[in-house]
Copies of this chain bind each other. A is one copy, B any other.
Protein backbone atom coordinates (compact mmCIF):
# COMPACT_ATOMS: atom_id res chain seq x y z
CA UNK A 1 0.00 0.00 0.00
CA UNK A 2 1.32 3.41 -0.87
CA UNK A 3 0.89 6.20 1.58
CA UNK A 4 1.47 9.75 0.54
CA UNK A 5 1.67 12.05 3.53
CA UNK A 6 2.48 15.72 3.47
CA UNK A 7 3.78 17.53 6.52
CA UNK A 8 4.14 20.96 5.12
CA UNK A 9 3.01 22.88 2.14
CA UNK A 10 5.10 22.29 -0.91
CA UNK A 11 5.34 25.03 -3.51
CA UNK A 12 4.57 24.38 -7.17
CA UNK A 13 7.99 25.44 -8.32
CA UNK A 14 11.44 25.57 -6.73
CA UNK A 15 15.02 26.38 -7.64
CA UNK A 16 17.47 23.93 -9.15
CA UNK A 17 20.95 24.50 -10.59
CA UNK A 18 21.66 23.09 -14.05
CA UNK A 19 24.84 22.73 -16.01
CA UNK A 20 24.66 25.41 -18.74
CA UNK A 21 27.95 24.62 -20.48
CA UNK A 22 31.19 22.73 -19.92
CA UNK A 23 34.10 24.84 -18.67
CA UNK A 24 37.48 25.05 -20.38
CA UNK A 25 39.95 25.53 -17.55
CA UNK A 26 38.51 27.39 -14.56
CA UNK A 27 34.71 27.29 -14.42
CA UNK A 28 32.69 30.50 -13.99
CA UNK A 29 29.15 31.21 -12.87
CA UNK A 30 28.24 31.30 -16.60
CA UNK A 31 28.60 27.51 -16.64
CA UNK A 32 25.55 27.25 -14.38
CA UNK A 33 21.87 28.03 -14.92
CA UNK A 34 19.73 28.88 -11.90
CA UNK A 35 16.24 27.74 -12.86
CA UNK A 36 12.81 27.84 -11.26
CA UNK A 37 11.27 24.49 -12.19
CA UNK A 38 8.13 22.53 -11.23
CA UNK A 39 8.51 20.47 -8.04
CA UNK A 40 8.16 16.86 -9.19
CA UNK A 41 5.80 14.30 -7.68
CA UNK A 42 7.34 11.27 -5.95
CA UNK A 43 6.42 7.96 -7.64
CA UNK A 44 5.94 4.59 -5.93
CA UNK A 45 8.78 3.85 -3.50
CA UNK A 46 10.00 7.43 -3.71
CA UNK A 47 10.32 10.35 -1.33
CA UNK A 48 9.99 14.07 -1.82
CA UNK A 49 12.77 15.68 0.19
CA UNK A 50 13.17 19.36 1.00
CA UNK A 51 16.93 19.88 1.03
CA UNK A 52 18.39 21.71 4.01
CA UNK A 53 22.09 21.62 3.29
CA UNK A 54 24.18 20.44 0.35
CA UNK A 55 27.82 19.78 -0.33
CA UNK A 56 30.13 21.24 -2.95
CA UNK A 57 33.27 19.17 -3.45
CA UNK A 58 36.36 19.45 -5.66
CA UNK A 59 35.63 16.15 -7.42
CA UNK A 60 32.57 17.77 -9.02
CA UNK A 61 34.91 19.71 -11.31
CA UNK A 62 35.73 16.46 -13.11
CA UNK A 63 32.05 15.80 -13.66
CA UNK A 64 31.62 19.15 -15.41
CA UNK A 65 33.84 17.82 -18.22
CA UNK A 66 32.55 15.34 -20.75
CA UNK A 67 35.48 12.96 -20.34
CA UNK A 68 34.70 9.52 -19.00
CA UNK A 69 35.88 9.22 -15.43
CA UNK A 70 34.99 7.24 -12.36
CA UNK A 71 31.65 9.01 -11.99
CA UNK A 72 29.36 9.93 -14.86
CA UNK A 73 29.67 13.49 -16.15
CA UNK A 74 26.93 16.02 -15.44
CA UNK A 75 24.68 16.53 -18.45
CA UNK A 76 24.18 19.93 -20.02
CA UNK A 77 20.69 21.22 -19.33
CA UNK A 78 20.20 18.85 -16.40
CA UNK A 79 20.51 19.65 -12.70
CA UNK A 80 23.84 18.84 -11.09
CA UNK A 81 23.86 16.39 -8.20
CA UNK A 82 25.87 15.68 -5.07
CA UNK A 83 25.51 14.95 -1.37
CA UNK A 84 22.65 16.64 0.51
CA UNK A 85 20.68 16.28 3.72
CA UNK A 86 17.02 17.15 3.78
CA UNK A 87 13.67 16.53 5.40
CA UNK A 88 11.19 14.05 3.99
CA UNK A 89 8.03 15.99 3.11
CA UNK A 90 6.16 13.25 1.22
CA UNK A 91 6.79 9.54 1.47
CA UNK A 92 5.63 6.74 -0.81
CA UNK A 93 7.75 4.26 1.15
CA UNK A 94 7.00 2.37 4.33
CA UNK A 95 10.62 2.89 5.39
CA UNK A 96 10.47 6.67 5.78
CA UNK A 97 8.05 9.10 7.34
CA UNK A 98 7.61 12.80 6.75
CA UNK A 99 9.75 14.84 9.09
CA UNK A 100 12.67 12.41 9.00
CA UNK A 101 16.13 13.65 8.03
CA UNK A 102 17.78 11.75 5.19
CA UNK A 103 21.16 11.81 3.46
CA UNK A 104 21.02 11.35 -0.32
CA UNK A 105 22.85 12.34 -3.47
CA UNK A 106 20.48 14.79 -5.17
CA UNK A 107 21.75 18.16 -4.05
CA UNK A 108 21.83 21.31 -6.21
CA UNK A 109 18.02 21.66 -5.93
CA UNK A 110 15.56 22.80 -3.27
CA UNK A 111 13.29 19.77 -3.61
CA UNK A 112 14.44 16.32 -4.68
CA UNK A 113 12.56 13.16 -5.57
CA UNK A 114 14.69 10.36 -4.12
CA UNK A 115 14.29 6.60 -4.38
CA UNK A 116 13.84 5.34 -0.83
CA UNK A 117 16.56 2.78 -1.51
CA UNK A 118 18.99 5.64 -2.18
CA UNK A 119 18.22 7.51 1.04
CA UNK A 120 19.82 6.97 4.44
CA UNK A 121 18.16 8.12 7.65
CA UNK A 122 20.52 10.22 9.74
CA UNK A 123 20.62 10.55 13.48
CA UNK A 124 19.70 13.83 15.12
CA UNK A 125 22.59 13.27 17.52
CA UNK A 126 24.84 15.14 15.08
CA UNK A 127 24.08 18.27 13.05
CA UNK A 128 22.87 17.42 9.51
CA UNK A 129 25.98 18.96 7.95
CA UNK A 130 28.19 16.43 9.76
CA UNK A 131 26.88 13.77 7.39
CA UNK A 132 28.26 15.74 4.46
CA UNK A 133 31.65 16.20 6.12
CA UNK A 134 33.37 14.51 9.03
CA UNK A 135 30.83 11.63 9.18
CA UNK A 136 30.14 11.58 5.44
CA UNK A 137 31.99 11.10 2.21
CA UNK A 138 34.95 13.37 3.06
CA UNK A 139 35.41 11.71 6.45
CA UNK A 140 35.22 8.24 4.95
CA UNK A 141 37.74 9.35 2.29
CA UNK A 142 40.19 10.42 4.99
CA UNK A 143 39.74 7.18 6.93
CA UNK A 144 40.00 4.82 3.94
CA UNK A 145 43.01 6.61 2.46
CA UNK A 146 44.99 6.83 5.66
CA UNK A 147 44.17 3.48 7.22
CA UNK A 148 43.66 1.16 4.26
CA UNK A 149 45.50 2.66 1.27
CA UNK A 150 48.49 4.20 3.06
CA UNK A 151 48.47 1.46 5.72
CA UNK A 152 49.12 3.96 8.52
CA UNK A 153 50.99 2.61 11.51
CA UNK A 154 51.75 4.04 14.90
CA UNK A 155 55.06 5.90 14.79
CA UNK A 156 54.71 7.05 11.17
CA UNK A 157 55.44 10.59 10.14
CA UNK A 158 52.51 11.71 8.00
CA UNK A 159 52.26 14.54 5.47
CA UNK A 160 48.90 15.66 4.08
CA UNK A 161 48.32 18.34 1.45
CA UNK A 162 45.16 20.41 1.29
CA UNK A 163 45.26 19.86 5.02
CA UNK A 164 42.72 22.50 6.04
CA UNK A 165 40.00 20.93 3.87
CA UNK A 166 37.32 18.54 4.99
CA UNK A 167 39.41 15.48 4.12
CA UNK A 168 42.88 16.74 5.05
CA UNK A 169 41.97 18.06 8.48
CA UNK A 170 40.56 14.66 9.42
CA UNK A 171 43.57 12.77 8.02
CA UNK A 172 45.86 14.77 10.28
CA UNK A 173 43.72 14.30 13.38
CA UNK A 174 43.23 10.56 12.82
CA UNK A 175 46.99 10.18 12.40
CA UNK A 176 47.72 12.09 15.62
CA UNK A 177 45.10 10.13 17.56
CA UNK A 178 46.56 6.92 16.11
CA UNK A 179 50.04 7.62 17.46
CA UNK A 180 51.81 9.30 14.55
CA UNK A 181 55.35 10.41 15.35
CA UNK A 182 54.74 13.70 13.55
CA UNK A 183 51.98 15.15 11.36
CA UNK A 184 52.68 17.88 8.79
CA UNK A 185 50.15 19.73 6.67
CA UNK A 186 50.24 22.19 3.82
CA UNK A 187 47.58 24.78 3.02
CA UNK A 188 47.21 27.97 1.01
CA UNK A 189 46.80 30.83 3.50
CA UNK A 190 48.36 31.97 6.80
CA UNK A 191 44.96 31.56 8.52
CA UNK A 192 44.68 27.94 7.43
CA UNK A 193 48.26 27.19 8.41
CA UNK A 194 47.59 28.60 11.87
CA UNK A 195 44.42 26.54 12.17
CA UNK A 196 46.32 23.35 11.40
CA UNK A 197 48.66 23.67 14.35
CA UNK A 198 46.38 25.56 16.76
CA UNK A 199 43.09 23.78 16.26
CA UNK A 200 43.73 20.46 14.52
CA UNK A 201 46.89 19.53 16.42
CA UNK A 202 49.31 19.23 13.50
CA UNK A 203 52.95 19.31 14.60
CA UNK A 204 54.00 21.50 11.68
CA UNK A 205 52.31 23.27 8.80
CA UNK A 206 53.32 25.52 5.93
CA UNK A 207 51.81 27.72 3.26
CA UNK A 208 52.72 26.18 -0.09
CA UNK A 209 52.65 29.63 -1.68
CA UNK A 210 55.51 30.89 0.53
CA UNK A 211 58.42 28.89 -0.96
CA UNK A 212 59.02 25.70 -2.95
CA UNK A 213 57.09 22.82 -1.43
CA UNK A 214 60.13 20.50 -1.42
CA UNK A 215 62.16 22.97 0.60
CA UNK A 216 59.38 23.62 3.12
CA UNK A 217 58.64 19.93 3.51
CA UNK A 218 62.30 19.07 4.14
CA UNK A 219 62.39 21.74 6.85
CA UNK A 220 59.15 20.53 8.45
CA UNK A 221 60.12 16.83 8.28
CA UNK A 222 63.89 16.69 8.77
CA UNK A 223 63.71 12.92 9.35
CA UNK A 224 61.57 12.31 6.28
CA UNK A 225 57.99 11.09 5.97
CA UNK A 226 56.47 7.62 5.94
CA UNK A 227 53.01 8.41 4.62
CA UNK A 228 51.79 11.02 2.16
CA UNK A 229 48.08 11.66 1.69
CA UNK A 230 47.83 13.48 -1.63
CA UNK A 231 44.94 15.86 -2.28
CA UNK A 232 46.91 18.18 -4.54
CA UNK A 233 49.26 16.41 -7.00
CA UNK A 234 51.84 18.39 -8.98
CA UNK A 235 54.80 19.78 -7.07
CA UNK A 236 53.37 18.50 -3.78
CA UNK A 237 53.65 14.94 -5.06
CA UNK A 238 57.21 15.44 -6.27
CA UNK A 239 58.17 16.99 -2.93
CA UNK A 240 56.61 14.11 -1.01
CA UNK A 241 58.42 11.48 -3.08
CA UNK A 242 61.66 13.35 -2.40
CA UNK A 243 61.08 13.34 1.38
CA UNK A 244 59.85 9.76 1.63
CA UNK A 245 61.66 7.32 3.85
CA UNK A 246 62.31 3.76 2.68
CA UNK A 247 59.09 1.77 2.31
CA UNK A 248 57.00 4.95 2.38
CA UNK A 249 53.38 4.84 1.22
CA UNK A 250 51.31 7.31 -0.76
CA UNK A 251 47.51 7.41 -0.82
CA UNK A 252 46.52 9.24 -4.01
CA UNK A 253 43.17 10.86 -3.35
CA UNK A 254 43.03 13.97 -5.50
CA UNK A 255 44.99 16.49 -7.52
CA UNK A 256 43.23 19.81 -7.01
CA UNK A 257 46.25 21.63 -8.47
CA UNK A 258 45.41 20.09 -11.84
CA UNK A 259 41.61 20.03 -12.09
CA UNK A 260 41.39 23.30 -14.00
CA UNK A 261 44.55 22.89 -16.07
CA UNK A 262 43.93 23.13 -19.81
CA UNK A 263 47.09 21.22 -20.68
CA UNK A 264 49.00 18.36 -19.09
CA UNK A 265 51.04 19.50 -16.10
CA UNK A 266 54.66 18.40 -15.53
CA UNK A 267 54.93 15.15 -13.62
CA UNK A 268 57.22 14.23 -10.73
CA UNK A 269 60.81 14.11 -12.00
CA UNK A 270 61.91 11.74 -9.25
CA UNK A 271 59.86 8.62 -9.99
CA UNK A 272 62.98 6.43 -9.87
CA UNK A 273 62.93 6.93 -6.10
CA UNK A 274 59.99 4.50 -6.12
CA UNK A 275 62.61 1.83 -6.79
CA UNK A 276 65.50 3.01 -4.66
CA UNK A 277 63.25 3.68 -1.63
CA UNK A 278 60.72 0.88 -2.34
CA UNK A 279 57.81 3.30 -2.28
CA UNK A 280 54.24 2.40 -2.98
CA UNK A 281 51.35 4.50 -4.21
CA UNK A 282 47.70 3.55 -4.28
CA UNK A 283 45.07 5.62 -6.02
CA UNK A 284 41.56 5.25 -4.65
CA UNK A 285 37.99 6.42 -4.81
CA UNK A 286 35.94 6.28 -1.68
CA UNK A 287 32.91 4.66 -3.34
CA UNK A 288 34.87 1.45 -4.00
CA UNK A 289 35.27 0.94 -0.27
CA UNK A 290 31.78 0.58 1.12
CA UNK A 291 32.94 -2.56 2.97
CA UNK A 292 34.84 -0.18 5.28
CA UNK A 293 31.86 2.09 5.99
CA UNK A 294 30.96 0.44 9.28
CA UNK A 295 34.58 0.46 10.46
CA UNK A 296 34.77 4.12 9.60
CA UNK A 297 31.63 5.10 11.46
CA UNK A 298 32.51 3.02 14.51
CA UNK A 299 35.98 4.55 14.59
CA UNK A 300 35.15 8.19 13.91
CA UNK A 301 31.65 8.83 15.30
CA UNK A 302 32.69 8.30 18.95
CA UNK A 303 35.67 10.62 18.45
CA UNK A 304 33.35 13.32 17.11
CA UNK A 305 30.85 12.72 19.91
CA UNK A 306 33.57 13.02 22.56
CA UNK A 307 34.94 16.18 20.97
CA UNK A 308 38.30 14.56 20.27
CA UNK A 309 38.00 15.44 16.59
CA UNK A 310 37.38 19.00 15.48
CA UNK A 311 35.95 20.03 12.20
CA UNK A 312 35.43 23.32 10.46
CA UNK A 313 32.71 24.35 8.06
CA UNK A 314 32.47 27.22 5.64
CA UNK A 315 28.93 27.84 4.47
CA UNK A 316 26.95 30.14 2.24
CA UNK A 317 23.24 30.76 2.57
CA UNK A 318 20.83 30.17 -0.28
CA UNK A 319 20.91 27.71 -3.11
CA UNK A 320 21.51 30.51 -5.61
CA UNK A 321 24.96 30.88 -4.05
CA UNK A 322 25.88 27.23 -4.75
CA UNK A 323 27.85 27.95 -7.96
CA UNK A 324 29.93 30.59 -6.16
CA UNK A 325 30.51 28.25 -3.24
CA UNK A 326 31.72 25.61 -5.64
CA UNK A 327 34.09 28.02 -7.39
CA UNK A 328 35.32 29.00 -3.93
CA UNK A 329 36.19 25.43 -3.00
CA UNK A 330 38.28 25.13 -6.18
CA UNK A 331 40.12 28.33 -5.24
CA UNK A 332 40.55 27.13 -1.66
CA UNK A 333 38.37 29.85 -0.10
CA UNK A 334 36.95 27.35 2.36
CA UNK A 335 38.31 26.09 5.61
CA UNK A 336 37.07 22.59 6.27
CA UNK A 337 33.86 21.48 4.64
CA UNK A 338 32.22 23.85 2.16
CA UNK A 339 28.44 23.80 2.50
CA UNK A 340 25.41 25.51 1.06
CA UNK A 341 22.52 26.10 3.46
CA UNK A 342 19.38 25.76 1.40
CA UNK A 343 16.48 25.98 3.78
Task: Give, as a whole number of angstroms, the nearest-CB distance from A163 to chain B.
Answer: 18
A-B interface, 3 closest residue pairs, ranked by CB to CB distance from nearest? A267-B267, A274-B283, A264-B269
Task: Give, as a whole number of angstroms, the nearest-CB distance from A161 to chain B.
Answer: 13
Is A297 interfacial (CB-CB < 8 Å)?
A: no
Each complex incorporates copies of this chain amounting to: 2
A69→B278 contact, CB < 8 A:
no
A271→B255 contact, CB < 8 A:
yes
A285→B281 contact, CB < 8 A:
no
B-contact 0/1 string along A259-290, CB 8 Å cutoff: 00000111111111111111111111100100
B267→A268 contact, CB < 8 A:
yes
Is A254 interfacial (CB-CB < 8 Å)?
A: yes
Is A118 interfacial (CB-CB < 8 Å)?
A: no
B267→A276 contact, CB < 8 A:
no
A278 to B275, CA, bound (A): 20
Known: A280-B283, A282-B280, A283-B280. A252 touches B275 (CB 8 A): yes
A278→B269 contact, CB < 8 A:
no
Is A54 interfacial (CB-CB < 8 Å)?
A: no
Is A237 interfacial (CB-CB < 8 Å)?
A: yes
Within 8 A of B (CB), among A293-331: none
A276 to B238, CA, bound (A): 19
Q: Which residues of B contact A283 (CB under 8 A)?
A: 273-280
Is A253 interfacial (CB-CB < 8 Å)?
A: yes
A-B contacts, 26 of them at CB < 8 A, read A70-B275, A70-B277, A233-B271, A252-B275, A254-B275, A255-B271, A255-B275, A258-B272, A264-B270, A265-B269, A266-B266, A266-B267, A266-B269, A267-B267, A267-B269, A267-B270, A267-B271, A273-B283, A274-B283, A276-B283, A276-B285, A278-B282, A278-B283, A278-B285, A279-B282, A280-B281
B285→A275 contact, CB < 8 A:
yes
Question: What residue in chain B is nearest A274 (Cβ atoms)?
Answer: B283
Within 8 A of B (CB), among A222-276: 233, 237-238, 252-255, 258, 264-276
A271→B268 contact, CB < 8 A:
yes
Question: What residue in chain B is nearest A284 (Cβ atoms)?
Answer: B278
Q: Which residues of B contact A237 (CB under 8 A)?
A: 271
Point out the residue from B266, B276, B281, B288 that lies within 8 Å of A274, measured CB to CB: B281
Q: Which residues of B contact A271 (CB under 8 A)?
A: 233, 237, 252, 255, 267-268
Q: Which residues of B contact A69 (CB under 8 A)?
A: 276
A267 to B233, CA, bound (A): 12
Task: Give, as a whole number of angstroms, the nearest-CB distance from A201 to chain B.
Answer: 27
Task: Give, as a whole number of angstroms, the nearest-CB distance from A303 to chain B.
Answer: 26
Task: Give, as a whole number of angstroms, the nearest-CB distance from A298 to chain B.
Answer: 25
Task: Give, as a whole number of angstroms, the nearest-CB distance from A142 to chain B.
Answer: 15
A64 to B163, CA, bound (A): 40
Q: Which residues of B contact A277 (CB under 8 A)?
A: 70, 283
